[in-house]
Amino acid sequence: VRDLCERAVEAALASGASYADARVVTRRSQHVLTKNGRVEVVNDVESEGIGVRVLAGNAWGFACDRRLEPAGAEGAAGRAVEFARAAAGSHHRDLASIEPAEGTYRTPCERHPFDVSLEDKIGLCLAAEEAMRRPEIKVTQASVRALQERKTLVSSEGTAVVHELVECGGGIDAIAVSDATFQIRSYPSAHGGISRQSGWEYLDELGLVTEAPRVAEEAAALLQADVCPSGTTDVVIGAEQMALQVHESVGHPTELDRVYGTEASYAGTSFLKPRDLGSLAYGSSHMNILSDATTPGGLGTFAFDDEGVPARREHVVREGVLSGFLTSRETAARIGAGAGGSMRADGWSRMPLVRMTNLHLEPGEGSLEELLAGVREGVYLDTNRSWSIDDKRLNFQFGTQLAREIRNGELGRLLRDATYTGITPVFWASLDGVAGPEEWRLYGVTNCGKGQPGQSAHVSHGAAPARFRSVQVGVQT
């Protein structure tokens, strides 16, 4: 495979490219989804190919080929240079300098998920579903997923690195329906559960079957719950919802390609400007956001990114102040800070883009109960149900599956159909407490969309429950 990459790089240089890199990716994944006691999905997917990225003149070019043979590699290299030349730019493109890297990274894995039989995977899903059965529940569903990816990157600057990644995860949902309403509860997270870079031991830790009765009970209870009242109030947001809050309102706006507008036509831009680095008040002093491509189990964990930049661990927000951006070599050179390290591509057929790796809200101190104790009247919110944020990542609105009244520091009645909304820096400025390390959890999503053509990134977020003052809950019309 390394030979094939080298061939592609050499072909690109011979065609006139000043820089080239080639990635061969072979990926296999399994997905099992059961719904209402029947197997809805049993997928076993494999995909392989080579993607070649070139810099020719002042323009990037990218082409790919599914054939892992010399003709495929050299053909892709030639087409990439041809495309770059056809769309020649006038802006000079510098790349932050890096040392050529060599190495191999493997996900630590006790039990490879492909060593677990399909029968066992299906059996786990059906057992979890069975444990959710109760009269109020109209739909039960359970899913598990597993992925292995072998990726070889070779560049014209001498980088040659190999990654062998293993992921797995799962989740369950109970959906309760009455004439009046439709309610859902999920575990361990909404939208398909949580995944980690890990062996099957992670599924054992999740305890999908054990948690199932509680999930169903909560979904049924939501049918009888009152609608969450609208108004401005204090909120405590659970760790799971905080993970998405970090993703949408900190992760995406700190991607430097968005700041420079290169994502404007699809995912959007950012309210941040390059000049804000080191000075912009993003939030209160309780806000510390760490980008960490070394987090054990993180879906964004690697040794080198897709430009061969070593994994980095650095704050993007420290004590409330913007202290870093997520960068590529090109954007790092442009801003004159950092050295890249966040370039990731979805498989072999897409160009690398600036993506989150693992982005965490660092824990504060104390327990969830201690956070709640500081609220005389408010709402506890957790588990995402809907999410939307504007193109500059300022105005957001999230809905949650579950809400509970907070009165005099204690959780009260269950509430349904809760939403909360805010303006990113105003919202984060109202943060006045993050629970401690014992409440901190690592979440992982596999559907972070960006780019044209679209790419899905796998990213993780660690978060603990957090308390915010004077937040708009519900819709104001």
In the bound complex, what is the minimum distance in angstroms from residue 446's beta carbon to another protein?
12
User: With respect to another protein, which residue has the nearer C-beta, 279 or 477?
Assistant: 477
Report the sign of the C-alpha dihedral through residues 144, 466, 287, 393, in that order: positive
User: With respect to another protein, which residue has the nearer C-beta, 122 or 281?
Assistant: 122
Q: Is 91 in the site for another protein (CB under 8 A)?
A: yes
Q: Is 170 in the site for another protein (CB under 8 A)?
A: no
User: With respect to another protein, which residue has the nearer C-beta, 8 or 290?
Assistant: 8
Q: Is 266 in the site for another protein (CB under 8 A)?
A: yes
Query: In the window 19-38, what residues touch another protein (CB under 8 A)?
Result: 31, 33, 38
Q: Is 205 in the site for another protein (CB under 8 A)?
A: no
User: Rounded CA gap, 233 and 430, in Å?
Assistant: 11
Q: Is 119 in the site for another protein (CB under 8 A)?
A: yes
**Which pairing describes strands 231-237 and 377-389: parallel, antiparallel, or unpaired?**
parallel
- The binder of another protein chosen from 4, 5, 20, 61 (CB under 8 A): 61
**CB of 199 closer than 8 Å to CB of 222:** no
Distance of CA 112 to the CA centre of its chain: 22
User: With respect to another protein, which residue has the nearer C-beta, 14 or 42?
Assistant: 42
Element of type H or E holding 186: strand 182-187
User: Rounded CA gap, 235 and 156, in Å?
Assistant: 52
3-class state of residue 95 by DSSP: coil
Q: Tokens 């430009």 label which residue?
A: 307
Query: In the window 234-263, what residues touch another protein (CB under 8 A)?
Result: 260-263
User: Rounded CA gap, 19 and 17, in Å?
Assistant: 5
In the bound complex, what is the minimum distance in angstroms from residue 37's beta carbon to another protein?
9
Token pair for 414: 């269950």
User: With respect to another protein, which residue has the nearer C-beta, 141 or 189?
Assistant: 141
User: With respect to another protein, which residue has the nearer C-beta, 183 or 288?
Assistant: 183
- The binder of another protein chosen from 77, 142, 168, 175 (CB under 8 A): 175
- The binder of another protein chosen from 14, 16, 45, 369 (CB under 8 A): 45
- The binder of another protein chosen from 301, 349, 357, 446 (CB under 8 A): 349
What is residue 349's DSSP assignment? S
Count of positions (residues) in the chain: 477
In the bound complex, what is the minimum distance in angstroms from residue 86's beta carbon to another protein?
4
Q: How many helices (H) and strands (E) does the chain have?
A: 10, 24
